[in-house]
Structure formats: structure tokens, C-alpha cells
Amino acid sequence: MYEGNPVDLQMESVISADGIFDDTSHHCQVFKYDLEEDYIYLLLKEDQLTAISLDAKYQCYISTKKELLYCTGVVKERYQCEHGDMIVFKIKNGFYNVSGVKRPVKRK
């Protein structure tokens, strides 16, 4: 459904008490969307997999041709495969349409 669309993934909060917050926006692309399980499989485009925490809540912005969608969730898994660096993102509470909001930009 959203396959091929660009994604910006940003940490919203750290789950563990000793976790480190990262305010970087990570650029990805939707590889596959599993509607039944509410998982999005994302291909990480620029960063290393270790930059993505398994112990944090993330905001996920998906840009389609017509709209900017927003959801929150957690990274369940991250691994390398023949397609590239894969992130398995579990969606919490569905998608929301973002109107009039600038797209997140990568901070250096």
C-alpha cells in the first residue's frame, strides 16, 4: 500500500532509564506494509542500523503523492538482508494525516 514511499523516522522518547535520546531524522523507504500485523518494513537509506534504537518510541512520517501521514510505534527488529538495512516498525494507534506541517528535516 505504501511501498516505495519515503519515510522520516524520528525518536520520540527513550523507554529505558539509561537510554540516550537521538534527535536525528533517519531517512528510509517503505519496503512492505503488513496491514494485518500493523508492521512497516523500512529500508534504512543513509545511516547505520546501530543508529536505530530497539529501546525507544519513534515517530514515523510517510510521504505519499497526495499527503503526509504520521504514526508512532517501536522498532521490533533491525537486520541486514539482500535488499539492504531493514527496520521492522510496529505501529501503535494507526495513521494520522498531517496537514500544514512541515516535513521533518535531517539535523546534522
Range of the domain at 80: 6-17+24-98
Structure confidence at residue 106 as a pLDDT band (50, 70, 90): very low
Q: Residue 26 in 3-state DSSP?
A: strand
What's the pLDDT score for residue 28? 96
pLDDT of residue 107: 37
Q: Where residue 76 sits, what CATH number does that domain have? A: 2.30.110
Is residue 103 a part of any domain in this protein? no
Q: How many helices (H) and strands (E) does the chain have?
A: 0, 6
Higher-scoring residue by pLDDT: 33, 17: 33
Q: For residue 86, what pLDDT is reported?
A: 98
Q: Are 4 and 29 in contact (CB under 8 A)?
A: yes
Residue 108 lies in a domain: no
Q: pLDDT, tens digit, for every residue of 15-26?
A: 988 888 999 999
Q: In this model, does residue 1 exceed pLDDT 90?
A: no
Q: Does residue 70 form part of some domain? A: yes
- Residue 27's DSSP bridge partners are 8
Q: What is the pTM of this model?
A: 0.86
